[in-house]
Amino acid sequence: MEQKINCAQACVNGCVLGNQCPNIEFREAAAKFIQETPLDKMLELAQERLRKKMTEPPKWVFPEDP
């Protein structure tokens, strides 16, 4: 049985489910990325994404009609 938890809240200090984590493949991919990617490259990726986000037109969100 797969446990449903909000990882963003429950796992802020580390995974609380261990090997039962439903997102274990993402955790492994993230760990591999961190190990294999230099900090300068991570900062470059973050700056590029921020630059793209700042140049995108605003996205309008309309509430659903009742």
Sequence ranges of the domains in the chain: 7-55
Rounded to two decimals, what is the model's pTM?
0.50
Across 13-21, average pLDDT: 81
What's the CA dihedral at 30, 35, 38, 39 to 10 degrees? 60
pLDDT for position 65: 66
